Chain A
Amino acid sequence: MSILEYNGAAIIAMSGKNCVGIACDKRLGAQAQTVSCDFRKVFQYNKTFVGLAGLATDVQTMSSLLKFRKSLYELREEREMSPKVLSNLLSNLLYEKRFGPYFIEPVVAGLDENNEPFLSGMDLIGAPVYTDDFVVTGTATANMYGMCETLYKKDMEPEELFETLSQALLASVDRDALSGWGATVHIVTKDGIITRELKARQD
């Protein structure tokens, strides 16, 4: 089994009309065995969310490292870190470990200064991809790409975005043994962030 599939994860980030959404599962496993059903994989940095899929230890290390670097930035710059900058920082942090990488494949979703959606994904050594529709990562990417491609529409309102994200994630993880066991969805709009827990199959 690949080291990126040891703990299991499924994360989707999608853009809507002046809003972004990010959804993730909550399983922490050790290969076939499930250890916990409330393992956090999506972390908030002001109005930007970073979803970290991959080896759980590196997910936890990187989320702390990002928090540290974001705080340092805010102290020095006296302004908030925009999603583009955070994504770039993450990319740099990952490439620094090019020959001994962190085993994570992150996605970044947020609203920039003009409340325009920002999405990016990258591999474990920080090679970024910027899209305007959706990014997926985890152990069920094949499933998630299929679901997103089918269900996605441009310029969805927050409520419709929530429905789309939820259905895409739930259907994807139900066909993947290593992800699931609960799901969390965050919708970011200029007015605030709405977080909802989904009722999912506990298997």
Chain B
Amino acid sequence: MDSVFGVQFEGGVILAADQSNARSILMYQSNLDKITKLSSHSALAVSGPNADLVNFSELMAKNLDLYEISNNGLKLSTHGQANFCRGELATALRKGPYQVNCLLGGYDESTGSGSLYWFDYLAALAKVNYGCQGYASNFCLSIMDRDWKEGLTQDEAVAIVDKCIRELQVRFLISQPNFIIKVIDKDGVRTLKYGADPADN
């Protein structure tokens, strides 16, 4: 039921996710942050059951941190991080699978551009300009198909994301009042806006 989507723009990536943590008829929490910072310039937006969501994103974040520590601060490229995540998911697939569908967004200093990677719970990886996971794709992919073009500015990308959120709030059966939006660019990962403060406990 999670809505997770992302848009690449000139010099970065935007990731957005709804903030509801719900199961069956119960809403446990409406300020969950489903976008985890993986490294200084990358983040992972995850959709799926909360247990797998938290376990997988934490596993990835800690292992990528370990890589940096073990290699004298060498930063793994976004492509490398995406392939690492895919590898972990693929290995776990036939042992104890994580039912997570993810979007990984990152910025690489070497190319000066952002990149967005889509991977599903079966560990199929694809580099995309924009992407959605879950039911959000039914509503938002066509908006992105129409509005996305090469060389978008950050504001234009945020406008597309806002359009998608409004569409979901109007037409999606499940009520998702809160969305968190994060930007990844040369200045790192930062939260642009949120519906409800994730830190409020």
A→B interface (CB under 8 Å): 6-7, 28, 30, 33, 35-36, 38-39, 55-57, 59-61, 100
Residue of A30, A35, A56, A59 with highest tally of chain B CB at under 10 A: A35
Number of A-B contacts (CB under 8 A): 38
Q: How far is the CB of A201 from chain B (nearest CB, A)?
A: 16
A36's partner among B86, B118, B123 (CB-CB below 8 A) is B118
Say yes or no: B122 contacts A36, CB within 8 Å: no
CA–CA, A188 and B124, complex, Å: 28
Say yes or no: A61 contacts B94, CB within 8 Å: no
In the complex with contacts A33-B137, A33-B141, A100-B94, A60-B120 CB distance below 8 A: no
Interface string of B103-143 (1 = CB under 8 A from A): 00000000000000010101111111001000001000100
Say yes or no: B141 contacts A60, CB within 8 Å: no
Say yes or no: B90 contacts A36, CB within 8 Å: no
Instruction: State the main secondary structure of chain A at its contact with B.
Output: mixed
CA–CA, A121 and B120, complex, Å: 28
Say yes or no: A57 contacts B122, CB within 8 Å: yes
Which chain A residues border B120 with CB–CB below 8 Å? 30
Tell whether B174 is near chain A: CB-to-CB under 8 Å: no
Which chain B residues border A57 with CB–CB below 8 Å? 86, 89-90, 93, 122-124
B124's partner among A7, A33, A38, A100 (CB-CB below 8 A) is A7
Q: How far is the CB of B124 from chain A (nearest CB, A)?
A: 3
CA–CA, A36 and B90, complex, Å: 19
Say yes or no: A56 contacts B124, CB within 8 Å: yes
Say yes or no: B94 contacts A36, CB within 8 Å: no
Which chain A residues border B124 with CB–CB below 8 Å? 7, 28, 55-57, 59-60
CA–CA, A33 and B140, complex, Å: 12
Q: How far is the CB of A61 from chain B (nearest CB, A)?
A: 5
A61 — nearest CB in chain B belongs to which residue? B90
Q: How far is the CB of B143 from chain A (nearest CB, A)?
A: 15
Which chain B residues border A35 with CB–CB below 8 Å? 118, 126, 128, 131
B137 — nearest CB in chain A belongs to which residue? A33
CA–CA, A6 and B126, complex, Å: 15
CA–CA, A60 and B90, complex, Å: 9
CA–CA, A56 and B125, complex, Å: 8
CA–CA, A6 and B121, complex, Å: 13
CA–CA, A61 and B119, complex, Å: 14
A100 — nearest CB in chain B belongs to which residue? B94
